[in-house]
Amino acid sequence: MVIQVRPSLGVRLGGLRQRNDQTLSLEVISLRATTPPPRNPRDPRNPTPITVPPPSNNPSPTPSLPPGSQTPRGRVLVVIDPGHGGKDPGAVGLGGLREVDVILPISLEVSQLLKQQGVEVMMTRNADYFISLQGRTAMANRARANIFVSIHANAVGGGRSNVSGMETFYAGNRQLADAIHRSILRNVTVARDRGVKRARFYVLRTSRMPSALVEVGFVTGSVDNARLRDPAYRSQMARAIALGILDYIRQKRL
């Protein structure tokens, strides 16, 4: 007899022990509490979390994609990775706006929009809990995903609230990053185009599929901060990211 066990999000499997002739035990480990928090690759100071209410209690409805958006030919699995979470709130910006409060709603909308187009989507987390960097890419690699997209919000120190803008990163092939970046510039009014750049962020260099990391704006920037608090702006950003992913799927004929 063969029994297959697949862990849920935020959980990994430990050792298997045979207690006696009739009993086996399998260790189940929560990634929310047992894994130490990663360092923020963009802000090594790791600011102290500030608890603030969610940006809005009445988010706008998820936008739809235009008719004729690319529907995949076969199975296409996209992993959407909302950065940070739980005990790691990411960057904390003006007015206490936390990165996690910006990127989770954007990521959830991206996931919903892709599913509407027939794309299979896996999220590394779908609520505000912690998962390690290793756990994120391990999940995507284990599932043999076709695409991995990590979504973040940026920050800069020194009280430089004049710094705003979006940028997209890649580690290997830049086609996915280019497709998403172009779509954002077409569909969203951004404070500044900071370009597509190569970086060796952990989730980019350890994912075995085309991957991109999107910085949707600076929570420390006065212009971006005001926009990222707006549910309508976050929805525009989600729609643009989803369209960029679909553009890439069309280009690669997946």
Q: Are 81 and 136 in contact (CB under 8 A)?
A: yes
Catalytic, 215? Answer: yes
Cα separation, 249 vs 254, whole angstroms: 5
Among the listed residues 99, 109, 167, 215, the single catalytic one is 215
Q: Could you tell me the sign of the dihedral formed by the alpha carbons of 155, 104, 208, 2, in that order?
A: positive
Neighbours of 231 (CB within 10 A): 19
- Max distance between CA atoms of the chain, in angstroms, equals 67
Distance in Å from the first CA to the final CA of the chain: 36
User: CA torsion angle for 181, 184, 102, 114 (degrees, to 10)?
Assistant: -90
Catalytic residues: 215
